[in-house]
């Protein structure tokens, strides 16, 4: 399975009595986008956070680039080449735009390389360059999302976990975010894309997984999933 960058098998996540994720298995192929779909509370974010090392796994395994990373700490997952743009963006509001990128660059051993990446990202997302000295908390939702993605890219990941990047954004901005997803894939970054907006996610995805009540309800090619009544049910079930 040399072409699988992420392989999750039989993942269970529990919060006390709540069984949030039940035996979820999914994979992301090299250079591809896997869309993880489902209603609010279906277990999407719990799944992604468990992969990132930020939620305890009750059972299951996570293999990243062929290595077993089950139960690894978030810091080590990042060093394995995985970055996350988390749900809710979670930018550091009291730091400037540039300082948000500097903090994310702390993981890069070479300071000059980190500075180069910062410059490149501020060119790639010109709005961040323009607002580099502004407090990140004062950015608009879309700009904060750009920052969250740019911050994730500071570690030059080979696998990006994108959790709800379009949530709460204006339609124009949503289009821009999905353009970015396609650009990143073209650059060879594999992506696990968590989305509520199933229609758009299925347009860019190479593979799709639908969660309902914490378990996989359907998985397969995006075209097949788009026409699968399970998808509609998964969203109505919540």
Contact 53, 46 (CB under 8 A): no
Hey, which residues between 155 and 174 contact another protein (CB under 8 A)?
155
Residues 127-156: x/- map of binding to another protein (CB under 8 A)? ------------------------xx-xx-
Name the minimum Å distance from CB 139 to another protein. 15
Task: List Cβ neighbours of 166 (8 Å cut-off, separation of 6 or more).
Answer: 145, 173, 174, 177, 178, 195, 196, 197, 200
| Non-local CB neighbours of 33 within 8 Å, separated by 6+ positions | 181, 185, 190, 191, 192, 193, 204, 205, 206, 207
Stretch that binds another protein, among 16-24, 25-33, 96-104, 164-172 (CB under 8 A): 96-104
Number of residues forming the site for another protein (CB under 8 A): 27
**Cβ neighbours, 10 Å, residue 3:** 10
Nearer to another protein, 35 or 49 (CB): 49
**Closer Cβ to another protein, 135 or 204, answer by number:** 135
User: What number of CA atoms fall less than 13 Å from residue 99's CA on the CB side?
Assistant: 10
- Residues engaged in binding another protein (CB under 8 A): 52, 54, 73-75, 78-79, 83-84, 86, 90, 92-95, 99-100, 102-107, 151-152, 154-155
């Amino acid at each position: 399975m040399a072409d699988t960058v992420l392989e999750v098998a039989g993942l269970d996540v529990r919060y006390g009595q709540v069984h949030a994720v039940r035996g979820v298995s999914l994979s992301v192929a090299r250079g591809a986008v896997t869309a993880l779909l489902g209603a609010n509370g279906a277990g999407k974010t719990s799944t992604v956070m468990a992969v990132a090392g930020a939620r305890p796994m009750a059972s299951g395994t996570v293999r990243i680039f062929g290595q077993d990373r089950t139960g690894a700490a978030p810091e080590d997952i990042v060093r394995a080449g995985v970055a996350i743009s988390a749900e809710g963006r979670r930018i550091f509001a009291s730091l400037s735009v540039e300082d948000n990128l500097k903090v994310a660059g702390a993981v890069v051993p070479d300071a000059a390389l980190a500075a180069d990446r910062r410059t490149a990202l501020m060119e790639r997302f010109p709005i961040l360059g323009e607002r580099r000295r502004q407090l990140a908390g004062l950015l608009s939702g879309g700009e904060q999302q750009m920052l969250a993605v740019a911050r994730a890219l500071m570690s030059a990941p080979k696998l990006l976990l994108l959790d709800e990047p379009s949530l709460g954004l204006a339609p124009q901005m949503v289009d821009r975010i999905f353009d970015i997803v396609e650009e990143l894939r073209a650059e060879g970054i594999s992506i696990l894309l968590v989305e509520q907006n199933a229609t758009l996610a299925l347009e860019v995805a190479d593979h799709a997984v639908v969660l309902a009540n914490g378990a996989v309800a359907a998985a397969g090619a995006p075209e097949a999933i788009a026409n699968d009544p399970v998808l509609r049910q998964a969203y109505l079930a919540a």
